[in-house]
Amino acid sequence: MPSRTDVSPDDAKHKVEAVMTLLRPSIQADGGDVEVVSVEDGIVRVRFSGACIACPSKGNTMRHGLLKAIQERVPGIVDVLEAA
């Protein structure tokens, strides 16, 4: 089944990783970090570490920070979710 991003999963993950490189310093400045676990069917799954694990603003960071920035730069991304 083709991805909603109309690019290969590896290419989509590479593009999302490039965006994360831009965002990561702000997250690290607060003592946390985030990694891209997967990009599939327009869904980016991320794993938080450090101070982000217990941060009450994690949901806002995903929706208003990560998702917005990724959607501006990577076509076809519809959501960012925390990996299980």
User: Residue 59 is part of a domain; what is its CATH number?
Assistant: 3.30.300.130
Domain that holds residue 77: 9-82
Number of structural domains, the chain? 1
Asked if the structure places residue 26 within a domain, the reply is yes
Is residue 41 situated within a structural domain? yes
In a domain, 76, yes or no: yes
Amino acid 10: pLDDT: 78
Higher-confidence position of 3 and 64: 64
**pTM of the predicted model, to two decimals?**
0.85
Does 14 reside within a domain? yes
Query: Is 1 within a domain?
Result: no
Say if 15 falls within a structural domain. yes
CA angle 78, 18, 81 (to 5 degrees): 35
Q: What is the pLDDT of residues 30-81, one digit of tens each?
A: 999 999 999 999 999 999 999 999 999 999 999 999 999 999 999 999 999 9
Distances (CA, A) of 15 to 55, 60, 73, 84: 26, 22, 8, 22
Is 4 domain-assigned?
no
